[in-house]
Structure 1
C-alpha cells in the first residue's frame, strides 16, 4: 500500500503526505508537525493530491520491481516519519504511540527483504534500532522527559544496539553513503559511549556537517549546533542558529536549544524569553514541564541576584 500511494505522478511531499494519511492513519495535525508546516497548509496539500489523483485517473495498482525501486526513497521517508511519530511522543503519549516506532521497524525489515543489498535501507533500519534502543531510559516513572546526557544507559536495549551496529557496518561496507547511514552513524556514536562525557562530539559535528551537505535543512543545522556547543562552546552554537530564527520560528526545539545556549552564556533574561517562547510551542505536557524547570531555575537565579 505504501508503494502504491507513493506514485511518481504526485510531487514527493504529496506522495509522503498521502501515504501517511491514507495508509498509516496519521492525522493532518501529526503530518503537519512532521513537515513543520501549519495544519491548514498540510490539509491543502493533501486535498490537492487527492484532486490530482482523480483528475489524472492515476491507476493505483501494485507496482512491479522496477517501479518499487523508483519509489523506494519516498517509502523509506514514510517509514521514518512513522517511527518519529512514535519516538518523539512524550509522557502520557509514550505508551500509546510506542507501536508507531515498533511498526516502523517492522516495515523497515520488510523493505530489507525486498531490497537486501540497498545500503540506505540498512542505514534506515539501523538508525531506528539504535534510537529505539534508548526508549526504556527516556522517561522517569512520573513521565518526565530525561535528556540523553542524563539517561541511565544500563537500561538501553543492548540487543537492539548490537543489531543496529551490525546493520550499519554492513551498509558502510557498500561504500555508498547516504543520509540514513550518516544519521545512523551519529546514533551509533551516542550508543557506543559508556558515559555521556565519553561521547565523541567532534566526530558527531563532522557527521552533521556531512549530513548538511547531503540534505541541507534548518533542522539538521540546529542538531549540528548542539554538537558545536560541545566542541566550540555555546556562543559558536548560538551564532550558528541565529539565521534559523525565521524558518524555525514555530519550532519548539529551536527555542529550547537557543534558551539552553543563552543560559550557558549567563544571559538569563534572553534565555528566559527563549524558554518562554518554547513553552508556548510545546506539543506535550512533558515538553512543557521540561522547559518549566529551566524557567523556574532562571527565576530563582534572578531573584537571588536582586537581593
Structure 2
C-alpha cells in the first residue's frame, strides 16, 4: 500500500542534510543543488519504499548526487582524491548545522530579496517553483536570483560567526509577505523561526516568534467575506486564535524576564496588549505608548514614531496625537492616512475626507486603497 510523504518532515531535515554535505567539504552551491535533487527523489520514492532513517537516506542520496556531479566536471586526480579523503555516506552524526546555515543564507553581502529566497530554499526546503509562485515571479527569475545568491557566498567559510539580527530581519521579511500562491509564507516564517529558536537561546529570537504568533492569531479577522480590509478596532475578536495568543504571550513573558529587551520583544509586547483587550475601547493605550517610547529609543524608526502618534492619539486625545504626528516625516508611508484618522477624531470630517482621498492615492496595496476610498466616501456622504 502506498503511503503519503510527510513533506513537512522532509523540509525539516533539509538544513541538517545540507550541513552534513558542507562539512564533508562540498561547496555550498553544489551541495544545495544535490540536496534539492535528493528531496525530489524522496517525494518520488518514499511513498512506496519509506526509509528507516530519513535523514541518513537523504544524506546518502544527496552525497552521491554531489559526487556524481563533481566527477562529471572534475579531473580524474581531483575526483580520486575527493573520494579517498571523504567519509563514506550513511547515517549522519548528530551535529545541528541549522544555525550556521541561517547565518550563511542571510550573509550581509546578499540583498534582502536574495537572502529571503536562499533561506526559503536552503533552510526551508522549498523548491524554486514554490518560492517563485509565492512571490508571484517567473520561475526562471527566481532561479537566477537564487543562483546569484549562491555565487555571492561561494567563498564564505561555513564556520564563520553570523549576525542574529540579520537572520531575524530576513525571517521578518518572509513573514510580512503574507500568503500568495501555494505557499503560506506566514506559516513558513513561523516554522523557520521556531526552528531557529530550537538551536539558539536568544531573547530576540523568542521575541520575533512571539510577535509572529500574536499577529498571525488575528489573521482570520483581518478581512471581510469580500476580501475587504477590517481595521483592528472593528475586528471580530471571537475569530482570533486564542491558542496562538496564549503561546505568543507565554513565549514573550519568558523572553522579557531575561531583561535583554530588543525591538522584536517590544513589538510583541504591544501586540500582546492588543490581544489582551476584550474589546477595542478596553485597550490599554497608555501602556502601549510606554512600549512605543522604549521601542523608539532603541530603533529611532520613523515607522515606530508614526505608530506611536496613533497610540498617543488614542491615549491622550486626537490633538495630542496630531502634535506627535507633527514630529514625523510627512514622507513616511501611511502618514496621510494617520493624519486623516486623527483629524476626523478631532471633529473636522471635511478635511479628514480630503485627506483620506489623498491617502488612497498613496496606498501600498489594493485592499488598503479600497478601505481608504470607503472612508473618504463615508465622510463625503455625511456632508
Same fold (TM over 0.5): yes
In structure 1, what is the equivalent of residue 355 of structure 2? Answer: 274
Q: CA offset at residue 7 of structure 1? A: 2.5
For 2:288 and 2:210, how far apart are their aligned partners in 1?
17
For 2:315 and 2:271, how far apart are their aligned partners in 1?
18
For 1:270 and 1:98, how far apart are their aligned partners in 2?
42
TM-score by length of 1: 0.77
Q: CA offset at residue 168 of structure 1? A: 0.7
CA contact (8 A) 2:190 2:212 kept: yes
In structure 2, what is the equivalent of residue 83 of structure 1? Answer: 175
CA contact (8 A) 1:279 1:288 kept: yes
In structure 1, what is the equivalent of residue 5 of structure 2? Answer: none
CA contact (8 A) 1:16 1:74 kept: no
In structure 2, what is the equivalent of residue 6 of structure 1? Answer: 106
In structure 1, what is the equivalent of residue 345 of structure 2? Answer: 264
For 1:291 and 1:136, how far apart are their aligned partners in 2?
21
CA contact (8 A) 1:5 1:60 kept: no
For 1:201 and 1:132, how far apart are their aligned partners in 2?
21
Q: Secondary structure, in 3 states, of the residue corresponding to 2:260?
A: coil
Larger mean Cα displacement after TM superposition, 272-281 or 210-219: 272-281
CA contact (8 A) 1:16 1:75 kept: no
For 2:289 and 2:182, how far apart are their aligned partners in 1?
31
For 1:124 and 1:176, how far apart are their aligned partners in 2?
14
Q: CA offset at residue 267 of structure 1? A: 2.6
For 2:105 and 2:238, how far apart are their aligned partners in 1?
41
For 1:107 and 1:20, how far apart are their aligned partners in 2?
12
In structure 1, what is the equivalent of residue 266 of structure 2? Answer: 182
2:308 is the alignment partner of 1:224: yes
Q: CA offset at residue 163 of structure 1? A: 0.9
For 1:265 and 1:279, how far apart are their aligned partners in 2?
20
Listed one character per residue, the Cα deviations across residues 146-192 of structure 1 (whole Å, up to 9, x for unaligned) are: 11111111111111111111111111121111111111111111111
Where relative contact order (Cα < 8 A, 6+ residues apart) is larger, the structure is 1
Q: Secondary structure, in 3 states, of the residue corresponding to 2:258?
A: coil
Size of the aligned set, in residue pairs, is: 260
2:299 is the alignment partner of 1:215: yes
Gaps of 5+ in 2: 1-100, 121-127, 136-144
Going from structure 1 to structure 2, the CA distance change for 1:181 and 1:254 (only over 3 Å counts) comes to same
2:238 is the alignment partner of 1:154: yes
In structure 1, what is the equivalent of residue 28 of structure 2? Answer: none
| Aligned counterpart for 1:200 among listed residues 240, 265, 284 | 284
Structure 1 stretches of at least 4 aligned residues deviating more than 6 Å after TM superposition: none
Q: Secondary structure, in 3 states, of the residue corresponding to 2:107?
A: coil
Q: CA offset at residue 193 of structure 1? A: 1.1
2:195 is the alignment partner of 1:103: no
For 2:242 and 2:264, how far apart are their aligned partners in 1?
21
Q: Secondary structure, in 3 states, of the residue corresponding to 2:267?
A: helix
Q: What are the equivalent positions in structure 2 for 1:1-307 lying under 5 Å apart?
A: 2-8=102-108, 10=109, 15-24=111-120, 59-61=155-157, 63-64=158-159, 67=161, 70-86=162-178, 96=181, 99-115=184-200, 117-248=201-332, 251=333, 253-302=334-383
Q: CA offset at residue 223 of structure 1? A: 0.7
Cα root mean square deviation, aligned: 2.5
Q: CA offset at residue 277 of structure 1? A: 2.0
Listed one character per residue, the Cα deviations across residues 240-286 of structure 1 (whole Å, up to 9, x for unaligned) are: 222434441xx2x2221111111112333432332122111223332
Q: CA offset at residue 95 of structure 1? A: 6.0
Larger Rg: 2
CA contact (8 A) 1:5 1:15 kept: no
Listed one character per residue, the Cα deviations across residues 124-155 of structure 1 (whole Å, up to 9, x for unaligned) are: 10010011001111111111111111111111
Going from structure 1 to structure 2, the CA distance change for 1:269 and 1:205 (only over 3 Å counts) comes to same
